[in-house]
Structure 1
Amino acid sequence: MPTSVDIAHLPGEGGPIAAVRNTLGWMTHGIDHLLAQHRRFGPVYRSVFAGYQVVCVADPDLVLSIAREDETWSTSLAWLTFFQGIDAKINAAKMDSPLFLDFKPHRDARKVFQPAFGHSATASYFDAATPIFEQAIERWMARGHVSFKDEIRSLMMKVSTRIFLGVDDEAAAFEKALIDYWEGPLSLTRSKLLSPSWRRSIRGHAVLCEMLRSRISARRASGGDDLFSRLCAKTQEPETLVDDDGLVRLMIGIKSAAFATTSSGLTSMAYLLATHPEWQERMRAEAIALSKGRINYEQSNQLEVTSRVWKEAMRLYPIAPYTARRALHDTQLGQWRIPAGTFVMGMISAVLRDSNLWSNPDRFDPDRFTPERAEDKRHKAAFLPFGIGGHTCTGMHLANAEVKAFWHALLTRCRFTLERDYKARHTYMPAGIVSGDVKLRIERL
């Protein structure tokens, strides 16, 4: 499978200057940068990101076309592009983690860990997360302020360390290793000599591997209800396709997703609620009407206003910019020929602002998700914040549950405003998030 292909016939740009400009554009101006490229070059165009030439697809019909599991597109080879070199054991000949599998092997691997994200498991994670949220909120109220972006990231790391690993005292170590690891795919060069971020990424990954691998035997014997214990037990079953190395890679992927994505979305949501207090009050009224005390997972499904605001936050400030694929053979995207081996990004973030699908797409309007309006149902690719196809995020329901648990705990206790009003922009660092620290003043109810 070629990794360097000729796509010069496509509109767009290439070369080292474009690589730097585009990568920095993603990081500092997020969706605005992507929409500007879409307007300039059209629905299918070539670009350079993090040192790789890519084809970006911003048309919803074409985004759907690359998501079909028809053996034209590989998800595993796309992700391999980013992570090969960080983990020396990841290569095209040995893909055993679900992230690096396609088609039936991928579906079979998902069956191994899907029960760990099922209804009963998610309910137990919800119950474990709630008291951690409550303790943090009490500290914020006592201080009267919080630098939300930094503290919610650490808080979500503490939550994920508890519900995923069953430990409470190593969140800081996991957080540092994950931050180092996440910087790697954005490096402009994959040279350990020239790139400090690439060196830190390799080192961070090694630390994560050791921290997880050293716990496998104990977790298999524990019979615990945390995610890692469940997966350690599951991967001992005869039909499993995941060995211990694959299990470690799977857990790193899950930890990374839970750490960077949910905390980023909560930060963007906090900014929107601080700048649209009428929606904060609507969410608060709904939360208090449900219960002023602690709720469970079943009850959280009644928080419909919270769900709509969460969806609108992910639409305006998308967490994931694209769904990644590689062409397994020569194919067509619209009028354009796509050679085998081409790295293609389905720009799900651009579709989230498509004026053909969304009314006043730049406006904050959570009611667009009501059953009466249902703008997210106008097209199958209209709203894909957790990806699309067989590789849709397995932790989607857990993320939604954590968001509801957090906001119910906070809004039934306090209200908040920005310490300093400012107009935020969208950034990718590397997950999509509002700019600024989102420093909040907290007032106890």
Structure 2
Amino acid sequence: MRVRPPDPAWGQALGPPFPPLTSIPLPRAVDRRLLNQRWPVRELAPPPPGSGLKPVLGDAGAPLVGHTLDSMRFGVDFALSRYEKYGPVSWVGAFGQRFVLLGGPDATQVALVNKDKAFSQDGWRHFLDAFFHRGLMLLDFEEHHLHRRIMQEAFTRDRLAGYVRQFGPVLRERVAGWSGRPRLYWALKGLTLDVATQVFMGMRSSAGAAAINRAFVDSVRAPTALVRFPVPGGRWAAGLAGRRLLERYFRANLPAKRSAGGDDLFSALCQAAGDDGERFSDDDVVNHMIFVMMAAHETTTITSTAAAYHLAKHPEWQERAREESLALSDDLPGLDALNRLETLDLVIKESLRLTAPVPSLARRAVTDTEVLGHYLPAGTLVSVSPNVNHYAPEYWTAPRRFDPGRFAEGRREDKSHRYAWMPFGGGAHKCVGLYFGMFEVKALLHEMLRTWRWSVPGTYRIRWDYVSLPVPVDGLPVQLAAVYRGSRGFHQV
């Protein structure tokens, strides 16, 4: 029996609205031909005379759509093919624009450290502002620093411990209710949305929660719509409607959160104050809640799905992780207990390397600047690619191989460069909720390990759809078998 969502509306909220691009079966030879299609190489812009800078080389791709469909279909392979062809700095046509692609740790460091403040978050605003207006990731410089400092009060260790206490019972109850052959991505998606609405918003499962969850899903899908206009029935229109619903909900509930407080993130943002007593306005709270809710459940779903897939493909790592989980007491784990799950820590980090939850980071050059000797004129849209960094053979041993041991003490391949491993971004905009996300993924996988042994056929290979953030094309079907724990250990039943 497949996992069912807790409300009938969930089926509509979570199911894909159309067959994803990557589900279209094509022969491998055709795939390779599409990926390696040659287009005329041109300069992005001529460097200023006497500057000594090199032009950025690249190509526009197919008329009108550019390389939009290639990037959606091929994901990691597309990013690596551009890196291999053009090097760490190149340009590409996509979404009706020209983007400079920065691949590799050195180029990444220039943009993310941004010591000259040459790059702004306007690259993100180009895609996200209509749906996640003034979310933390879309703010720049001093304003971003102020908002981040206030928001950090919602992610202190005491707050994190409280969030873990809240989501523990939700994870245990829901995971125990699975059975048969679920499509794991959608089961995890429903679960992380439920955690987000309960822990972040203090909202219990109901028909109203299902509508909120659907609004988030629609808002996430909308930014990469090819038709960026509110055509009835289109993704852009659905995203705008989702944004309006979320604004109404948060504004209606904000006065109560201001006055009564609580343990959820919504309350925490209403009460948070900076070092000098600065507080978020009502508009700030609404904007940050919409953005943080999206970021929290999307990245957690992707990471837990990737880790579960690799544990299914590598049962020796699943058993090793299970031994550590079963060594804990039957109590719901707190922060200290979760920190003792060292095998899961390695597996999660390697899964984040192989499938970055956010496969590109957008910026815009606000002034004429250069990256590794290449000239970028003011106004250039920039895309930083964690995927390239995570697979660069000069920093990783056998980069396409699942090898959690590369993160263990004594190896620590992630220390080969500050930006070799960057699933949470970097610089001033590094994810403020990264510890919350890691604890939630660990707690979720811990509950899976103590309850289920899961598997996939030996020939099965996951394929990710990059139309928006990474989603497995088939939802990742797995076979579940219960884990029985008796006085002589545990075994499958």
* 8 Å CA contact 1:71, 1:328 repeated in 2: no
Q: How does 1:193-204 map to 2 (within 5 A)?
A: 193=231, 196-204=234-242
- The aligned counterpart of 2:202 is 166
Taking the aligned partners of 2:170 and 2:330, their CA distance within structure 1 comes to 17
Please point out which of 458, 463, 482 is paired with 1:425. 463
Percent of residue pairs bearing the same amino acid type: 32
- The aligned counterpart of 2:36 is none
- The aligned counterpart of 1:50 is 95
* 8 Å CA contact 1:50, 1:185 repeated in 2: no
Taking the aligned partners of 2:64 and 2:328, their CA distance within structure 1 comes to 50
* 8 Å CA contact 2:120, 2:140 repeated in 1: yes
Taking the aligned partners of 1:296 and 1:194, their CA distance within structure 2 comes to 46
Does 1:28 pair with 2:73? Answer: yes
Query: Unmatched 5+ residue regions in structure 1?
Result: none
SS in 2 for 1:192: coil
Q: CA deviation at 1:409?
A: 1.4
Runs (4 or more) in structure 1 with deviation over 6 Å come to 235-238
Taking the aligned partners of 2:253 and 2:120, their CA distance within structure 1 comes to 30
Q: CA deviation at 1:77?
A: 1.6
Q: CA deviation at 1:234?
A: 2.5
Taking the aligned partners of 1:199 and 1:51, their CA distance within structure 2 comes to 19
Taking the aligned partners of 1:146 and 1:419, their CA distance within structure 2 comes to 14
- The aligned counterpart of 2:52 is none
- Between 1:107-116 and 1:26-35, the stretch displaced more is 26-35
Q: Deviations over 1:111-146 (max 9, x none)?
A: 111011111111111111111111112111xx3332
Change beyond 3 A, Cα 1:195–1:238? farther
Change beyond 3 A, Cα 1:208–1:18? farther
- The aligned counterpart of 2:287 is 249
* 8 Å CA contact 1:319, 1:431 repeated in 2: yes
* 8 Å CA contact 2:182, 2:477 repeated in 1: yes
Q: Deviations over 1:15-51 (max 9, x none)?
A: 6x26635222232221112111222222211113333
Q: CA deviation at 1:189?
A: 3.3
Q: CA deviation at 1:323?
A: 2.3
SS in 2 for 1:320: coil
Please point out which of 155, 167, 171 is paired with 2:191. 155
Does 1:415 pair with 2:461? Answer: no
* 8 Å CA contact 1:18, 1:48 repeated in 2: no
- The aligned counterpart of 2:398 is 360
Does 1:38 pair with 2:92? Answer: no
Corresponding letter in the other structure for 2:128: F
Corresponding letter in the other structure for 1:281: E
- The aligned counterpart of 2:126 is 81
TM-score, normalised via structure 1 length: 0.91
Aligned residue pair count? 431
* 8 Å CA contact 1:165, 1:226 repeated in 2: yes
Change beyond 3 A, Cα 1:171–1:288? same
Q: CA deviation at 1:195?
A: 8.2
Q: How does 1:369-380 map to 2 (within 5 A)?
A: 369-380=407-418
Taking the aligned partners of 1:11 and 1:194, their CA distance within structure 2 comes to 39
* 8 Å CA contact 2:88, 2:104 repeated in 1: yes
- The aligned counterpart of 1:12 is 58
Q: Deviations over 1:220-263 (max 9, x none)?
A: 12221100011112269984363212211111110111121110
Change beyond 3 A, Cα 1:171–1:429? farther
Please point out which of 128, 132, 135 is paired with 2:173. 135
Taking the aligned partners of 1:236 and 1:72, their CA distance within structure 2 comes to 24
Q: CA deviation at 1:345?
A: 1.4
Change beyond 3 A, Cα 1:282–1:242? same
Please point out which of 267, 275, 283 is paired with 1:229. 267
Taking the aligned partners of 1:238 and 1:162, their CA distance within structure 2 comes to 31
